Amino acid sequence: MKDVGRNPLGTVLPAAIILICMMGFLFSPNDPFHVDMSMRFLPPTMQFPFGTDHMGRCILSRILEGGKITLGIVLIGASIVFVLGMIMGILFGQIKSGKGFLLDSVLNAVTALPPIAYLIVFIGAWGNGVFTMIFAVTISLLLRLIKLVKSETEIELTKAYVLSAVAAGVSKPKLLLFHVAPNVTQDALHYICLSCADLIMVITGFSFIGLGLGDNVIDWGMMVSESRNFVLTYPGIMIYPVAFILLSTFSLNLLAREIEKRGEIHA
Amino acid sequence: MLEVQNVSVFTGNGLPLLRNITFSLGPGEILGLTGESGSGKTTLIKSIMGILPKSCRLVSGKILANNIDLTALTSGEHRKLCGTHLGFVPQSPMTAFDSRIRLGTQITETLRLRLGLSPTTATELARQQLFAVNLSDSTRIMESYPSQLSGGMLQRVAIAILMALQPSYILADEPTSALDTVNRDLLLNLLQNQVSRSGILMISHDIAALKALCKTVMVMENGAITEKGSMEQLLLSPCRKWTKEFAAAYRLPEKEDWLWTEY
In a domain, A128, yes or no: yes
CA A57 to chain centre: 28
Query: How high is the pLDDT of residue A2?
Result: 47
Contact assessment for residue A157 and residue A180, using Cβ atoms and an 8 Å cutoff: yes
Query: How high is the pLDDT of residue A1?
Result: 41
In a domain, A97, yes or no: yes
Cα(A74)–Cα(A62) distance, integer angstroms: 18
Sheet of B68-69: strand order equals B16-25, B2-10, B57-65, B68-69
User: Which of the two residues, A128 and B25, has the higher pLDDT score?
Assistant: B25
CB contact under 8 Å between A164 and B55, yes or no, is no
In a domain, A28, yes or no: yes
Q: Above 80 in pLDDT, residue A200?
A: yes
How many domains, in total, are found in chain A? 1
List of chain B residues whose C-beta atoms are within 8 Å of the C-beta of residue A171: 76, 79
In a domain, A6, yes or no: no
Cα(B153)–Cα(B134) distance, integer angstroms: 9
Least confident of A38-42, A84-88, B188-192: A38-42
List of chain A residues whose C-beta atoms are within 8 Å of the C-beta of residue B12: 97-98
Handedness of CA B39, B42, B46, B48 (dihedral sign): positive
- Long-range contacts: A43-48, Cβ < 8 Å, 24+? A44/A236
Cα(A73)–Cα(A196) distance, integer angstroms: 10
Quick one: which of B166, B218, B224 has its CA closest to B43?
B224
Residue A214 φ then ψ, to 5°: 100, 175
> ipTM surpassing 0.85, yes or no?
no
Quick one: which of B155, B157, B98, B178 has its CA closest to A267?
B98
Q: Cβ of A38: how many Cβ atoms within 10 Å?
A: 6
Band of the pLDDT at A215, cuts 50, 70, 90? confident
Quick one: which of B95, B240, B250 has its CA closest to B177?
B95
Contact assessment for residue B131 and residue A188, using Cβ atoms and an 8 Å cutoff: no
SS (H, E, C) chain B: CEEEEEEEEECCCCCEEEEEEEEEECCCCEEEEEECCCCCHHHHHHHHHCCCCCCCEEEEEEEEECCEEHHHCCHHHHHHHECCCEEEECCCHHHCCCCCCCHHHHHHHHHHHHHCCCHHHHHHHHHHHHHHCCCCCHHHHHHCCHHHCCHHHHHHHHHHHHHHHCCCEEEEECCCCCCCHHHHHHHHHHHHHHCCCCEEEEECCCHHHHHHHCCEEEEEECCEEEEEECHHHHHHCCCCHHHHHHHHHHHHHHCCCCCCCCC
CB contact under 8 Å between A164 and B90, yes or no, is yes
Query: How high is the pLDDT of residue B262?
Result: 53
Q: Cβ of A112: how many Cβ atoms within 10 Å?
A: 8
CB contact under 8 Å between B82 and A169, yes or no, is yes
Sheet of B199-203: strand order equals B86-89, B169-173, B199-203, B30-35, B216-221, B224-229
Can you give the residue range of the structural domain that contains A190?
17-266
In a domain, A137, yes or no: yes
CB contact under 8 Å between B53 and A158, yes or no, is yes
Beta pairing, strands B169-173 & B199-203 = parallel
DSSP-derived letter for residue A58 is B
Overall average pLDDT of the A161-187 stretch = 87
Cα(A206)–Cα(A69) distance, integer angstroms: 14
Q: CA B100, B106, B108: angle at the middle one, nearest 5?
A: 150
In a domain, A26, yes or no: yes
CB contact under 8 Å between B96 and A166, yes or no, is no
Q: Is B99 on the interface with A (CB under 8 A)?
A: yes
- How far from A178 is each of A38, B99, B142, B217, CA to CA, in Å? 62, 12, 18, 39
Query: How high is the pLDDT of residue A171?
Result: 84
CATH number, residue A41? 1.10.3720.10
Q: Above 50 in pLDDT, residue A105?
A: yes
Answering whether pTM is above 0.90, one says: no
DSSP-derived letter for residue A54 is T
Q: Compute the radius of gyration of chain A from its Cα atoms.
A: 22
Chain A nearest-CA distance from B256, in A, is 43
In a domain, A180, yes or no: yes
In a domain, A81, yes or no: yes
Cα(B138)–Cα(A92) distance, integer angstroms: 39
Q: Is B79 on the interface with A (CB under 8 A)?
A: yes
Pick the residue of B79, B86, B97 with the most A CBs within 10 A to test the interface with A by mutation: B79
Chain A nearest-CA distance from B178, in A, is 16
List of chain B residues whose C-beta atoms are within 8 Å of the C-beta of residue A169: 79-84, 110, 113-114
To the nearest 5 percent, what fractions of chain A are helix, strand and coil? 70, 0, 25
* Weakly modelled stretches of chain B, pLDDT under 70: 252-263
Q: Above 90 in pLDDT, residue A85?
A: yes
CB contact under 8 Å between B79 and A164, yes or no, is no
Quick one: which of B81, B142, B130 has its CA closest to B106?
B142
